Amino acid sequence: MSQTINLKERLEALRREMGESHLDAFIIPSQDPHQSEYVADHWKSRAWISGFTGSAGVAAITADHAGLWTDSRYFIQAEQELKDSPVVLHRLKVPHAPEHIDWLLDTLPPGSTVGCDGNIFSLAQVNYLHRKLEKKNIKVAYKEDLIGRIWKGRPSLPRNAVFELDEEQAGQSRAEKIGLIQRQIKGAEYYLVATLDDIAWALNIRGADVEYNPVCISYLLVGVKIVHWFVHKEKVSAELRQRLKEDGVQLQPYEEMENFLKELDQDSPVLYDPGSTSINLFEALEEEQWKSSSNLIRPMKAIKNETEVKHIRQAMRKDGVALLKLYRWLEAELQSRTVSEYELAQQLADFRKAQGNYFGESFAAIVGYAANGAIVHYKPEPDTCADIRPEGILLLDSGGQYLEGTTDITRTTALGDPTQEQRRNYTLVLKGHIALSRAVFPEGTVGVQLDILARMHLWREGLNYGHGTGHGVGFFLNVHEAPQGFTPNPRGERGETAFQPGMLTSNEPGYYKSGEYGIRIENLELCVEQSSTDSGRFFAFEPLTLFPIDLKLAESELLTQEEKGWLNDYHRKVLNELTPLLNDEEHDWLAEKCRSI
């Protein structure tokens, strides 16, 4: 009840501000000024105004309606969090679709004004709003930070210390990376970088400002001669400042980014990415000073070098050992008691931490027992989560941030005797996972072409899942990393990016029966060169994740000899890689889980 009262008061306060600013609607997205997926508490405006805590969604507020738009991954969570709330759930048909804009077009009369915060809306987003809303003569006002006016006790920006990755860890020096960026600056003096993981990669630094992502809140302005890093200076030690200076990097106050741009000479053009540059930063310069550019760093960051791959393999071994200890612990505990989903997540974090060089989860662990497994992005809370019993199936999707790399793994496990339906559907998901992992494809192949491999067996049975099949993964960086991935959507960067050797991508098909159970199987796959023939270069995938796939749920009769061969080869690899790190009892447990099928 108190949550409902708080939301009503917040919405009333927002509507008062809207009235004073002559706004008929106000849009609050999930992002920050850096277009981040996960944001610092300071920028969790959408969660604060709507009560929905999922990582993806948009709120739109009018004088008489408060709506929250999110996609199928979050439907059940949103239903629970918005129950008895003044905020109405609008279900998106397609993830990230701008259907709230269509709703505003249908709802608002001509001549209305829609507001948004120009600090967090990118130029591309504002231009899109203009194009859509001008059809009905609806204006867009983007200077207003209305949430900032009414959010009492708003958390301040984090100012946690940053640290440096040396060349032995990163595989490339900071000077090398800066040089690579500078050589791509054509017809301009500077390149503006707002995305936090790109800045971390370019400067070989990591931070602790954002939960799950080891990044530092900052901006980077790469000049052809000098580099300016806009950051709270107390985050950077004197020793690191000196090394940065030696590499041509000067520190500037974070808050001075906009003013610094305003002081640039008019004959100093700046390259920028319209998708990641806020409209307020864009308006700091005359329009003719800006030169639109694609993201110069992202394609380089996506291709892991040999050193990064070596470290990632070590992170996978650590993660495999941590998961082995967790599942053995769970089996033992379930013999005498139930274990809550929340306790299991905490226990997993402890086992990961014990592996060393651990910096936290790469996302909130999804521990979905029985019906909760059907909630794609379910997060167990201590007071409301389910108790795990020695029956049914458990979906565990989790990841860790190690100094050696970022992990992301999902396993679905039978805790009792699975039903025939569960075994069949699990095997269909497994067949799709194997088909994608076994793919061999020519250079130039993109994610939308490969996605069908993971879905085709489900489709034949009239089944499907409502999320993409895979996303890029960073090196001790963001667990969701652009540009590549597997998706059924033919539009957008993820579906249109060609795979190249060195790219690390998740392979995670699933199936979800609402109110009963969820199934997902996920490994991280490294794109490798398979062959070079008269027809060109051909690529394939190597699974780097090291943990057994549950054979109790697999229906052997539905698997082909090739699929069984892949599964047996994968389990041999898991056993060989992890055995040197295990005691005898752990080895025997793993050997049973990795038995031939």
pLDDT at 2 over 60: no
Bond before 483 cis per omega within 30 degrees: yes
Residues 213, 107: one domain?
no
Residues 174, 111: one domain?
no
The candidate with the shortest Cα–Cα distance to 162, out of 227, 254, 224, is 254
| Helix (H/G/I), strand (E/B), else coil: 359 | strand
Residues 131, 39: one domain?
yes
Residues 408, 471: one domain?
yes
Residues 448, 325: one domain?
yes
Residues 349, 394: one domain?
yes
| Helix (H/G/I), strand (E/B), else coil: 79 | helix
What is the greatest pairwise CA distance in the chain? 74
Q: Read off the pLDDT of residues 30-76 as tens digits, 9 standing for 90 and up.
A: 999 999 999 999 999 999 999 999 889 999 999 999 999 998 778 87
Asked if residue 156 is part of any domain, the answer here is no
Residues 327, 421: one domain?
yes
Looking at 282, 298, 314, which one is the last position of a domain?
298
Whole-angstrom Cα distance, residue 167 to residue 163? 13
Instruction: Output the pLDDT for position 236.
Output: 99
Q: Read off the pLDDT of residues 308-349 as tens digits, 9 standing for 90 and up.
A: 999 999 999 999 999 999 999 999 999 999 999 999 999 999
Asked if residue 465 is part of any domain, the answer here is yes
Domain count, the chain: 3
Asked if residue 155 is part of any domain, the answer here is no
Instruction: Output the pLDDT for position 4.
Output: 64
Whole-angstrom Cα distance, residue 342 to residue 364? 11
Residue 20 tokens read as 């004073």
pLDDT at 1 over 50: no
Q: Read off the pLDDT of residues 208-239 as tens digits, 9 standing for 90 and up.
A: 999 999 999 999 999 999 999 999 999 999 99
Asked if residue 158 is part of any domain, the answer here is no
Predicted TM-score (pTM) of the model is 0.95
Calculate the CA dihedral of residues 439, 445, 451, 456 and round it to 10 degrees. -60
Looking at 298, 331, 354, which one is the last position of a domain?
298
Residues 113, 182: one domain?
no
Instruction: Output the pLDDT for position 77.
Output: 84
Q: Do 246 and 229 meet the contact criterion of CB atoms below 8 Å apart? A: no
First vs last C-alpha separation in the chain: 53
Better-scored residue on pLDDT, 439 or 379: 439
Residues 413, 317: one domain?
yes
CATH number of 220's domain: 3.40.350.10
Mean pLDDT estimate for the chain: 97
Looking at 265, 298, 331, which one is the last position of a domain?
298
Residues 441, 520: one domain?
yes
- Look at the alpha carbons of 123, 142, 44, 106 in this order and tell me if their dihedral is positive or negative: negative
Asked if residue 157 is part of any domain, the answer here is no
Q: Do 101 and 126 meet the contact criterion of CB atoms below 8 Å apart? A: no
pLDDT at 581 over 80: yes
Residues 502, 392: one domain?
yes
Residue 130 tokens read as 């203009």
Asked if residue 471 is part of any domain, the answer here is yes
CATH number of 349's domain: 3.90.230.10
Asked if residue 176 is part of any domain, the answer here is yes
Instruction: Write phi, then psi, for 74 (nearest 5 degrees).
Output: -120, 5
Residues 377, 479: one domain?
yes
Strands (E), 314-402: 339-340, 358-361, 366-369, 387-388, 393-398, 400-402
Contacts of 70 (CB under 8 A, 6+ apart): 52, 54, 56, 57, 58, 78, 89, 90, 91, 92
Asked if residue 454 is part of any domain, the answer here is yes
Whole-angstrom Cα distance, residue 521 to residue 451? 15
Q: Which domain holds residue 186?
A: 163-298
Helices (H), 358-443: 420-437
